[in-house]
Chain A
Amino acid sequence: MRSAFVCALLSCVAVASIVLTNHAVELRAAAPGAIRGRVTLRTVVPVNERRPTVAELGTPRERDFSDRLRSVVYLESAPRGAFERIEPGRVVMDQRNETFVPHLLAVTTGTVVDFPNGDPFYHNVFSLSKANRFDLGRYPSGKLKSVQFTRPGIVRVFCEIHSHMNAYILVFSHPFFAVTDDAGRFRIENIPPGTYNVIAWNEGTASEPKPVTVPDGATSEADFTLR
């Protein structure tokens, strides 16, 4: 009886060790990597000016100027299984002093973007982009309207009342993208090992796809120059 119990225990330990070992191998094989780097802009796209206010009775109000230094870096094609891992969230694109803040958003499909009006006058956010066409109508200060972006693509956002207001929302069907900081630095996390084409994008200009290999659990570097 005692020997039978020892045999059973040893069997269990053996099975458990095999299972755990295999799992560890699996974990090691799936250890994600990252891509980091920098996007350098030779020329920065200037901020949109108002159309000449010839028909107005006076000088239009001062407005904020959004910077155009930020870019988006993304994998051209995502690894298998990436699409099941999307967790759509909720982000905000504010309207302040006749400017969309931030000027650039990158989101996954299904994400809801809130457009609060932070100005003491009407705005009317709309987009005629094929990927996501919408028109939120006119709404006053303090109000918020939202759009769920269900299709991947580049969405150019405007205000119908203030023609100089515009912004970009890049909608991806996978989560492997990053928005650079003002210095152009970026880091895309949790990429399964493999070789991918990586693209940098800024204000309507995209780089040529650059092949980048992500080793098991390590970080690769890729730099881009645009314009």
Chain B
Amino acid sequence: MYSAARKAVKLIPTYNSLPVRTLSPWWLAGLTLAMTSGSVGAAAQSLPSEPIVFGDGRVTIGAEVTGTFACTNSATSTSEVCSDDTGYFNYSDYQHSTLRMLRVDVSTAVKATERLSVLAEVRSEDGERVRPYALYVRLKPWSERAFDIQAGRVPPTFGAFARRTYPSDNLLIGYPLAYQYLTSLRPDALPANADELLRMQGRGWRSSFSVGNAAGDKGLPIASAFRWDTGVQVHGAIRIVDAALSVTTGSLANPLVGDDNGGKQIAGRVSVRPLPGLLLGVSASHSPYLTRAVTRAAGVESENRNYTQTAFGADVEYSRDYYLVRFETIVSDWRLPLVAAPSIRLPLRATSTLVEGRYKIRPGLYAAARLDHLGFSEITGTTRTSTWDAPVTRYEIGGGYSILRNVLLKGSFQYNSRPAGRTQKLKLGALQLVFWF
């Protein structure tokens, strides 16, 4: 299957001339149909359904394989039927569509001692080379206390969705806007003035500015769901309270392995479970986010630490019987050097709010929906006052059916709208097949 997947990957040009790797739609549709047919469903019974354990119980390996395919109502020069996301509403950090993807995750936990474990995860998207996603040690100094120190490429501290990005955990197929949608801001390029920034409204998939790296490239989401940051994380829990604090190399929007600006991200999260089924969480994060190269280009390298991303988040989850409801909001402020007039009103603020829910209709079958909005603060250019990026609204409705306990088929309909960019309204239908053990 892996070699077949590699053959199915084609390097195709897109209208923005950015090379985008995407899966052949027919191959993925075939995979989905095959996996849902009875014969392959029976064969799936022989696939592992539990994590693989060896080394006297010290090594545990799990995996998740996901095939996702989507069609839009929008025609392009290369496809009139079933075209890709022409508005780049669902593109990820890696310049892949999150709605047309074959993803393989393999995670491992190695218990070195009772108190020390090594955890790792590698990931391959669309048959490309395998990338390390997580690699860290987990130390539990006191066996009786819920207190851990994790060091390396660690799980995200900020937010609720950040640790639920696995397709088997995500109620729908699309990602929340805050964790995936690319704004026009970049860590390696700066708009010289407000007019330059306003020109990039709705073009986060390939924004370009005159200061720093002038080549077009992807912008930043509020928080990245596709990479983890590198550093140290401390976590503890007492009764109904759970808290984590981390110091890492990158920023909330741009997690890194190697430092690019000499600054550190400090992030924290506290969650409380006052009632069964109710979880209340708050998060905060602060870090410099611009590369040293771009602040040098702007002539403000010595003030590098002043150009920061600061974010606050709040989340609520309540579940009971057959329903589950979640709410999450994030406010992120970016500060950047003011190079020329008309100057940009700081901070640049992005606010995301989502509500999602799930209801189990019958055993193995559920319906879900999400309403999501991403808004931006206003700035004033030479000729107009407007939000610094185009606000986006997305709703997605769909559901899932468990063919087996660990084989889940999801389907959804997604509607996106924003008042700027090449595609301003987009409807998508998506299917996703998830196998995990």
Q: Smallest Cβ distance from A223 to chain B, in angstroms?
A: 29
Residues of chain B at interface, number, CB under 8 A: 51
Q: Which residues of A contact B120 (CB under 8 A)?
A: 54
- Whether, in the assembled complex, B322 has its beta carbon less than 8 Å from a beta carbon of chain A, the answer is yes
Q: Are B138 and A58 in touch, CB under 8 angstroms?
A: yes
- Whether, in the assembled complex, B53 has its beta carbon less than 8 Å from a beta carbon of chain A, the answer is yes
- Whether, in the assembled complex, B311 has its beta carbon less than 8 Å from a beta carbon of chain A, the answer is no
Q: Are B155 and A50 in touch, CB under 8 angstroms?
A: no
8 Å CB contact of A122 from B117, B319, B364: B319
- Whether, in the assembled complex, A6 has its beta carbon less than 8 Å from a beta carbon of chain B, the answer is no
> In whole angstroms, how far apart are the Cα atoms of A137 and B10 in the complex?
43
Interface SS of chain B: strand
Q: Are B163 and A49 in touch, CB under 8 angstroms?
A: no
Q: Which of the 9-residue segments B16-24, B57-65, B328-336, B389-397 touches chain A?
A: B57-65
Q: Which residue of A lies closest to B166 (CB)?
A: A55
- Whether, in the assembled complex, B96 has its beta carbon less than 8 Å from a beta carbon of chain A, the answer is no
- Whether, in the assembled complex, B146 has its beta carbon less than 8 Å from a beta carbon of chain A, the answer is yes
* Total A-B pairs, Cβ < 8 A: 109
Q: Are A51 and B57 in touch, CB under 8 angstroms?
A: no
Q: Are B140 and A59 in touch, CB under 8 angstroms?
A: yes
- Whether, in the assembled complex, B102 has its beta carbon less than 8 Å from a beta carbon of chain A, the answer is no
- Whether, in the assembled complex, B129 has its beta carbon less than 8 Å from a beta carbon of chain A, the answer is no
Q: Are A138 and B319 in touch, CB under 8 angstroms?
A: yes
Q: Are A46 and B235 in touch, CB under 8 angstroms?
A: no
8 Å CB contact of A49 from B60, B117, B322, B364: B60
- Whether, in the assembled complex, A149 has its beta carbon less than 8 Å from a beta carbon of chain B, the answer is no
- Whether, in the assembled complex, B121 has its beta carbon less than 8 Å from a beta carbon of chain A, the answer is yes
Q: Are B363 and A128 in touch, CB under 8 angstroms?
A: yes
Q: Are A141 and B276 in touch, CB under 8 angstroms?
A: yes
Q: Which residues of A contact B402 (CB under 8 A)?
A: 128
Q: Are B51 and A58 in touch, CB under 8 angstroms?
A: no
Q: Which residue of B lies closest to A51 (CB)?
A: B62
Which residues of chain B from 100 to 115 have any CB-CB distance to chain A below 8 Å in the complex?
107-109
- Whether, in the assembled complex, B404 has its beta carbon less than 8 Å from a beta carbon of chain A, the answer is yes
> In whole angstroms, how far apart are the Cα atoms of A156 and B364 in the complex?
14
- Whether, in the assembled complex, B252 has its beta carbon less than 8 Å from a beta carbon of chain A, the answer is no
Q: Smallest Cβ distance from B155 to chain A, in angstroms?
A: 5
Residues 262-295 of chain B, each 1 if its beta carbon lies under 8 Å from chain A, else 0: 0000000100010011000000000000000000
Residues of chain A at interface, number, CB under 8 A: 30
Q: Which residues of B contact A135 (CB under 8 A)?
A: 322, 360, 362-364
Q: Which residues of B contact A141 (CB under 8 A)?
A: 276
> In whole angstroms, how far apart are the Cα atoms of A53 and B109 in the complex?
7
Which residues of chain B from 110 to 163 have any CB-CB distance to chain A below 8 Å in the complex?
117, 119-121, 134, 138, 140, 146-148, 150, 155, 157, 163
Q: Which residues of B contact A121 (CB under 8 A)?
A: 273, 276
Question: Contacts A52-B60, A128-B363, A135-B363: A58 and B148 contacting too (C-beta < 8 A)?
Answer: yes
> In whole angstroms, how far apart are the Cα atoms of A58 and B437 in the complex?
21
Interface residues of B (CB under 8 A from A): 50-51, 53, 57, 60-62, 107-109, 117, 119-121, 134, 138, 140, 146-148, 150, 155, 157, 163-166, 233, 235-237, 242, 244, 269, 273, 276-277, 319-322, 324, 360, 362-364, 402, 404-405, 436-437
User: Can you list the 9 inter-chain pairs with the closest CB atoms, starting with the nearest?
Assistant: A140-B276, A58-B148, A52-B109, A137-B321, A58-B235, A51-B62, A135-B363, A52-B107, A57-B235
- 15 chain-A/chain-B pairs, Cβ below 8 angstroms: A49-B50, A49-B57, A52-B62, A52-B108, A53-B109, A53-B119, A54-B121, A55-B165, A57-B157, A57-B233, A58-B140, A58-B147, A126-B364, A137-B320, A138-B277
Q: 17 additional contacts, CB 8 Å, given A54-B119, A59-B117?
A: A46-B53, A49-B60, A52-B109, A54-B107, A55-B134, A55-B165, A57-B233, A58-B150, A58-B236, A59-B146, A127-B363, A128-B364, A128-B404, A135-B360, A135-B362, A137-B320, A139-B321
